Structure 1
Amino acid sequence: MARRKNMKRRRIILGNTFRLVRENGMDKVSLQMIAEKSGISKSLLQSYYPHKAKLTNDIVHNLFNTLGEQVNNYNPPKDGKAPYAQTKAFIYTIAVLGMHDEGLDRIISEAFTNNSTLDSWGAMLNEWIKTNKLFEGLDLDNDELEAGIAFVTTGIGRLYHDRKKHHLSAEDLANYATSALMYSFLHCSEDEIKEALEEGHEIIESADMQVVHQAIDSMFDEGKDIIS
């Protein structure tokens, strides 16, 4: 019973923090604001989350997990380089949500500019790939794959931040990231890269972003699995 109550309160805190950050940005949200929104004292809040960094990381982790589940529901191509294409689809989904939702942009930008959450993006992308056995059966060096993911995560974060300056679309960002991973770290040929990017385009064309938005909006609702 105590554990259930603990998780219920964490769900409330995370949900309220998520809404406050979407509306105001992390820098403008204080622990006191979160505590008042959640109907608890600041000291009780800090017994769950001593500092905002943990809150930010948990929100990013839940967002990432929700996006991963949604990308898994996209329609993959029947043949070809589906693992690489799905990677492109995942990166595209993150970018396009941030570009078209000011509130999500605040959270995604925070994740890409904060070293702690940026490391988490790379770790979570790697975990998503492993969980979905995305590259299972392919002759890959796991160390190179992990290094590639870390490199791509940092690079795409920088490009996302400067996207307006360079006039980049969400698909441009996904193409650059996927190409860099495939060419520099996984040693794929130009033809393989071209095929994967085309198949990735097919996948994102099948995506219903309204459904993805609904999943994000409800990810802290009662009954949903959360990470904390």
Structure 2
Amino acid sequence: MARRKNMKRRRVILGNTFRLIRENGMDNVSLQMIAEKSDISKSLLQSYYPHKSKLISDIVRNLFNTLDKQVNNYEQIEHYSSYAHMKAFIYTIVVLGMHDEGLDRIISQAFTNNETLDNWGSMPLDWVHDEHLFDDINATKAELESGIAFVTIGVGRLYYDRKKYHLTAEDLSNYATSSLMYSFCHCSPDEIDQALKDGHEIIETADMESVHQAIYTMFDGEKEIIS
């Protein structure tokens, strides 16, 4: 019973933090604001989340988990390669940030803050292992992990500067996927071209309104959360 109450309160805190950051930006949200929004004292809030960085990390982890479930529901995705799957996942993250100012604040924070970037960087590796996405590729574990770390940091930098370089969501997802395939996984140009083409076909089937709604409501009700 105590554990259920604990998780319910965490859900409320995370949901309120998520909404406050979407509305105001990370730098303009304090622990006191979150506590007041959650109708608890600041000291009680800090017994769950001593620092804002932990709150942001948990929000990013839940965002990542929700996106994973949504992308896995894209039509026919199971019939395409892991690289095409990766392109669709990156595209989804980027296009949501480009079209939702509130989500952009959170995604930008995840990509640019050192504390959250460390956690964000480990999430793709966990995702790859959990989904067994690259079990059959021609790369060592070290090459794959290095490649994913490289892609995570590179995409974050380009996402942050996307307007400067006039980059679209598909540009970013193509750069990330082809970099991993060519530089770390020893894929041929034909294999890369096919993966990018297949990834494009996947994202054309995506219902982005449904994805957006799933993220907007990820802390609602009895939905499973990570904390």
Question: TM-score normalised to the size of structure 1?
Answer: 0.97
Deviation by residue 1:176-201 (Cα, 9 ceiling, x = unmatched): 00010000011101110000000000
2:29 partner amino acid: V
Q: Distance in 2 between matches of 1:90 and 1:207?
A: 11
Give the equivalent residue in structure 1 for 2:67: 67
Give the equivalent residue in structure 1 for 2:48: 48
1:93 partner amino acid: T
1:36 deviates by 0.2
Conserved in 1, the CA contact under 8 Å of 2:87 and 2:173? yes
Give the equivalent residue in structure 1 for 2:21: 21
Where does the alignment leave 5 or more consecutive residues of structure 1 unmatched? Answer: none
Give the equivalent residue in structure 1 for 2:157: 158
Give the equivalent residue in structure 2 for 1:5: 5
Conserved in 1, the CA contact under 8 Å of 2:91 and 2:172? yes
1:77 deviates by 5.5
1:168 partner SS? coil
2:45 partner amino acid: L
Q: Distance in 2 between matches of 1:58 and 1:39?
A: 20
1:133 deviates by 1.1
1:21 deviates by 0.3
Deviation by residue 1:15-47 (Cα, 9 ceiling, x = unmatched): 000000000011000000000000000000000
**Aligned length, in residue pairs:** 227
1:76 deviates by 3.5
Task: Please show how residues 146-185 of structure 1 align to structure 2 within 5 Å.
Answer: 146-185=145-184
Conserved in 2, the CA contact under 8 Å of 1:77 and 1:202? no
Q: Distance in 2 between matches of 1:52 and 1:27?
A: 10
2:187 partner SS? coil
Conserved in 2, the CA contact under 8 Å of 1:160 and 1:173? yes
Q: Distance in 2 between matches of 1:28 and 1:140?
A: 43
Q: Distance in 2 between matches of 1:76 and 1:145?
A: 25
Where does the alignment leave 5 or more consecutive residues of structure 2 unmatched? Answer: none
Conserved in 2, the CA contact under 8 Å of 1:76 and 1:82? no
Conserved in 2, the CA contact under 8 Å of 1:91 and 1:174? yes
Identity %: 72
Conserved in 1, the CA contact under 8 Å of 2:138 and 2:185? no
Task: Please show how residues 59-208 of structure 1 align to structure 2 within 5 Å.
Answer: 59-76=59-76, 82-208=81-207
1:78 deviates by 7.0
Deviation by residue 1:123-177 (Cα, 9 ceiling, x = unmatched): 1111111111112233331111111000110011000000000000000000000
Q: Distance in 1 between matches of 2:60 and 2:211?
A: 15
Q: Distance in 1 between matches of 2:114 and 2:88?
A: 24
**CA RMSD between the two structures:** 1.1
The 1:57–1:45 alpha-carbon spacing in structure 2 relative to 1, beyond 3 Å, is: same
Give the equivalent residue in structure 2 for 1:209: 208
The 1:78–1:103 alpha-carbon spacing in structure 2 relative to 1, beyond 3 Å, is: closer
Conserved in 1, the CA contact under 8 Å of 2:110 and 2:117? yes
Where does structure 1 differ by over 6 angstroms across 4 or more consecutive aligned residues? none
Question: TM-score normalised to the size of structure 2?
Answer: 0.97
Q: Distance in 2 between matches of 1:138 and 1:179?
A: 14
Conserved in 2, the CA contact under 8 Å of 1:122 and 1:153? yes
The 1:77–1:51 alpha-carbon spacing in structure 2 relative to 1, beyond 3 Å, is: closer
